[in-house]
A = this chain, B = another copy of it.
Amino acid sequence: MSTSAGRKPRTDAERNRSRVLQVAGELFAARGDAVQMADVAKAAGVGIGTVYRHFPTRQALVAAVAEERFAGILRHAREECLSLPDTRQALVGFLDAIGRTHEAGRGVSGAIEATFGNTEPSGEVGAQLLDIGEQLLARGQADGTVRGDAGVSDLYMIAGAVAALSRNAVGDWRRFIDLALDGLRPQR
Q: Of B32, B154, B156, B161, which is within 8 A of A161 by CB? A: B161
Query: Which one of B110, B172, B185 contacts A117 once the chains associate, using CB atoms below 8 Å?
Result: B110
Interface residues of A, count at CB 8 A: 36
- The quantity of this chain's copies bound in the complex is 4
Question: Contact mask A133-165 → B, CB, 8 Å, 1/0?
Answer: 000000000000000000001101110110011
User: With A and B bound together, what is the CA distance between A119 and B164 in angstroms?
Assistant: 10
Is A165 within 8 A of B160, CB to CB?
Answer: yes
Identify the closest chain B residue to A175 (Cβ): B154
Inter-chain contacts of A5 with B (CB < 8 A): none
Contacts of A181 in B (CB 8 A): 183
A68 contacts partner chain B, Cβ-Cβ < 8 Å = no
Q: A88-119: which have CB < 8 Å to B?
A: 110, 113-114, 117-119
Q: Is A26 interfacial (CB-CB < 8 Å)?
A: no
A183→B154 CA distance, assembly (Å): 13
Contact with B along A169-188 (1 / 0, CB 8 A): 11111011011111111011
Binary B-proximity of A2-24 (CB < 8 A = 1, otherwise 0): 00000000000000000000000
